[in-house]
Structure 1
């Protein structure tokens, strides 16, 4: 499960301590998965009568998954509210979460389909020369940073890559113009590279046009750019999903630098609000 380290201009637990929270999330996730899996295994082995009603309600909301795959999905779904909490508040500040994000299929796709060591900045807003600048999604990988434009246009059969300014969408052989995703991707990667340069961080930055539901017709890919359409998607996704690496110090250094330039809109948290970490799934 990729970690949501920044959501738009919200306060983020990761901003407060970018070196501590990524590894803490992984540790808490592993501990809670192990606990849930043990309870589920005991139930599958010994039957429903061995699990009292209170534990069933607390751990599984009354419904016990039938298969391990269903259990994993239940666990990942249960982590989403926790992810949103860390991505919208610190110990002292909080931002008002737009409930839209809780159902945002693109955001949930990124969070649930990639490894824990992939750190996601979703629709981040940077403050450059005191002016807010919106960028594409950033996926900070242990070996580099991906600026990602996710393209999914209803009723479009194919995307046709044109120049840096204009692409085309083909729907039932009717072609219409669209703004090239490279416009925002170039702006995003330029901002990322300038911040990395300021902190003397040597980490590759790559631009990705991600359109898993549409073929992309193109003659060539620009420098440091990858087009991932319907035909390229399975290979790209398998490579990303099976990538195995611990968090890297240079990766966390890049996260710290990038977060330091992001805009934050927040208010002070009520002093009486509970911030207990006793339960990862129910925090």
Structure 2
């Protein structure tokens, strides 16, 4: 499960200590998965009420899983509220979370489909020369950065890249024009490159237009840009999903540098006690 290191302009645990929390998340996730799997394996040894009570400590809501595949999804769904909490509060500060993020399917997709070593900035707002600048989603990968624009329409729609300003959506032989996703992706890439340059860091930056549901008809991809539509998706996804690498120091240095330049809107917390969470140490 990818890690949500920044959400919009919210305060984040990762901003507070960017070198500590990526590794801590992985350790806590692995430890709690082992506990949940152990409970699942002992489910027939326990009273139903005892089992359900123990199970409920791992997730906020949802029906009990019927098989191991459902158990994995149950666990991932239980992680999402926890990740939103880490991405909107620290021990001393908090931001007011927009509840729509709890049901944001694109956010859920980006988090639940990729490895723990992928660090996600979702809807980030940067402060560049004291001016706020909205950016596309950013994945800090162990080998580079992806600026991601996720497109999704009904299956009958085909995307067709046009000129620098326009793309087209074609459905039942009818084309409609829309603003090219490359405009915001290029702006996001420029923001990232300027930050990395200011910190003396060299790290590859690539632009990604991603659609798991629709074809993208194109002849050539622009420089440092990848189009992944329905026809390319499975191969691309398996390659990304199967990527095996530990967190790298340079990767966390890049993430820390980006977070330094993001906008933070928060208030002091009135409560200082620990909150109950199955992912807390």
CA deviation map 1:117-137 (0-9, x unaligned): 000000100001111000110
Tell me the distance in 2 between the aligned counterparts of 1:97 and 1:139: 21
Segments of 4+ moved more than 6 angstroms: none
Contact kept? 2:36, 2:55, Cα under 8 Å = no
- The two structures have a TM-score, normalised by structure 1, of 0.93
User: Pairwise CA RMSD of aligned residues?
Assistant: 2.0
**Counterpart residue number, 1:138:** 138
Contact kept? 1:156, 1:169, Cα under 8 Å = no
Structure 1 runs not aligned, ≥5 long: none
**Counterpart residue number, 1:36:** 36
**Counterpart residue number, 2:54:** 55
Q: How many pairs does the alignment contain?
A: 280
**Counterpart residue number, 2:278:** 279
- The two structures have a TM-score, normalised by structure 2, of 0.94
Contact kept? 2:58, 2:78, Cα under 8 Å = no
**Counterpart residue number, 1:201:** 201
Call closer, same or farther: CA 1:211–1:92 in 2, change over 3 Å: same
For 1:1-283, what aligned pairs fall within 5 Å after superposition?
1-44=1-44, 46=45, 48=47, 51=50, 54-59=53-58, 64-154=64-154, 157-270=157-270, 272-276=271-275, 279-280=278-279
Call closer, same or farther: CA 1:62–1:128 in 2, change over 3 Å: closer
Tell me the distance in 2 between the aligned counterparts of 1:260 and 1:112: 26
Structure 2 runs not aligned, ≥5 long: none
Call closer, same or farther: CA 1:63–1:8 in 2, change over 3 Å: closer
Tell me the distance in 1 between the aligned counterparts of 2:73 and 2:242: 18
Contact kept? 2:58, 2:278, Cα under 8 Å = no
Tell me the distance in 2 between the aligned counterparts of 1:240 and 1:100: 27
